[in-house]
Chain A
Amino acid sequence: NAGVTQTPKFQVLKTGQSMTLQCAQDMNHEYMSWYRQDPGMGLRLIHYSVGAGITDQGEVPNGYNVSRSTTEDFPLRLLSAAPSQTSVYFCASSYGGGAGNGYTFGSGTRLTVV
């Protein structure tokens, strides 16, 4: 049982490049979500999913794309990276959300866009 696994841990991109941040969980959690963390801003929700095939936008979805084809994986795609997307990204998963066992977070991906 590995929990929530995020890859890569660090990434440097050039402006305009695209990439995918990976998130996988092996706990059969139906809820998964992506956050970005910036100093003084807390964590802001980018996109979330309540099950395979179902996704929705969070607070700051612009510039990011997601899909959920399996229960285990929830990749986050940056379509054309911008310096404003420099941040630490966290993935989270849950069985039952707040009524269940709460949310488990991955260890994060630190992304720098130059």
Chain B
Amino acid sequence: AQSVTQPDIHITVSEGASLELRCNYSYGATPYLFWYVQSPGQGLQLLLKYFSGDTLVQGIKGFEAEFKRSQSSFNLRKPSVHWSDAAEYFCAVEKGNTGKLIFGQGTTLQVKP
């Protein structure tokens, strides 16, 4: 069965510092990979996705993610964090194009002024 692991439950960074959120997946073939962000009390917003092609994916709000097949990882990065980036971030995997989207447990990002 496919699974998604986000090893960091909670991360705190200073405003202006760089950010990397980790995501590892377990799946036999190349999955479709997503990063979503959720602000408190809100729904989920798609930051970026990967399903083929260039392994470095650019998303909205200055985020990017890199797919590394050898490490089964899809880590999210941002070079300079803003206070408004404080939220919960979810990595998700879809097996093929089946409509079956599986989420990691989420990482809560806190931004210090």
| Residues of chain A at the chain B interface (Cβ within 8 Å) | 31, 33, 35, 40-45, 48-50, 56, 58-59, 90, 92, 94, 96-99, 102-108
Contact = CB atoms under 8 A, between A and B. Distances in A.
A98 B97 contact: yes
A33 B101 contact: yes
Contacts, number: 72
Interface string B76-95: 00000000000000101010
B11 interface: no
Given A98-B32, A103-B34, A31 B99 contact: yes
Interface of B: 4, 6, 9, 31-34, 36, 42-46, 49, 51, 90, 92, 94, 97-106
A42 B94 CA distance: 15
Contacts of A94: 99
Given A42-B90, A105-B44, 6 more contacts: A31-B99, A42-B106, A97-B32, A98-B31, A98-B97, A107-B43
Contacts of B45: 105
Contacts of B104: 42
Contact of A49 (B92, B94, B99): B99
Nearest to B94: A98
Contacts of A31: 99
A94 B101 CA distance: 11
